[in-house]
Amino acid sequence: MEIDINFIPKSREYLEKFVFANSTDFFMDMNEYRPLNGYGDFPNSSHIVQCMREITHIIRDDFSDLSIPEKFSTSEHLISHAKNFIDLLKSFESYFTESAEELTAKSNPIPTPISVINGNRQKTIQVFEKFVNLAETEANEREGILTKIHNPTDTEKIQNLLKRFHSVANQLTNRRKKDGIPRQTLEIKDEYDVQDLLHGLLKIHFDDIRAEEWNPSYAGSSKRSDFLLKKEKIVIEVKKTRANLRDKEIGEQLIIDKVNYRNHSDCKILICFVYDPELIIKNPVGIQNDLKEITADFTTLVYILPNE
């Protein structure tokens, strides 16, 4: 299905037609219907005349251009702006009601400015409320289409977190100062620091994150996984390079991990994350490709990051 990338096009077209058709008339009404033009003062005249000014100027200045993202950053920004305009126009309601009641009580006719300006106000509210309803429906439908087109898998969610891991780690070192002293932060010095930060990031997408789960023995030894996502049947192994943990050693450890988890009842996907901030690994792509395995029963994915 083709996606319209112009953002809520039908509802914007509806509002554009209203603005184009009424902008000039509103401007003329603003100049015509005021006490100085022979209509005299009437109850709440200053507020009622101000209402016409608000309608005219906001229509011309704010809604003559409905482009996204040039004028409004997002469709939500445009919708929010329209809602604020509706609230403003509704805030004038009491002035028109009070004027009509006072004039009626004195058996005086309702001056033309009151009826014309209130008619413009009510018409504008009605159109903008319809625009908001149309736009929200259109935006929700568009969001639904996008969601159906690509709903990230659990593996993709983890992959995206790992790709941003280094950026997040660097950002944590740039904390605000208190009395000239930088606040305490998490510095990634060893594998445990990597685990702590990754654990926090995983909570963005997953609720049941089990750390340090016992695993079956291999070659006479047993080990613990760093993270087990039991519901998703994903195990995440974390490593951090150092002077004595380079290409050869990393490759050997990851081979053992693959064998160790292949028959694990709670592991259908093994994700190995090697954090290499000093770029110690000389051939990360080679290691990733050699150890990558995707079958119907078991998958191994290796991410050595950052890789540039």
Domains of the chain by start residue, with CATH: 9-149 (no CATH), 191-305 (3.40.1350)
How much is the pLDDT for 185? 80
How much is the pLDDT for 221? 46
3-state helix, strand, coil in the chain (%, to 5): 55, 15, 30
Q: How far is CA 294 from CA 177, 225, 230, 301, 302, in A?
A: 47, 20, 19, 8, 11
Whether the ω angle into residue 111 lies within 30 degrees of 0, i.e. cis, is no
**Matching residue, tokens 């000389």:** 282
How much is the pLDDT for 84? 96
Mean pLDDT by 10 residues, the chain (308 residues): 58 94 95 83 92 96 91 90 96 95 92 94 97 89 62 90 93 78 82 93 93 55 72 94 91 91 90 94 93 92 89
C-alpha 31/C-alpha 49 separation (Å) is 10
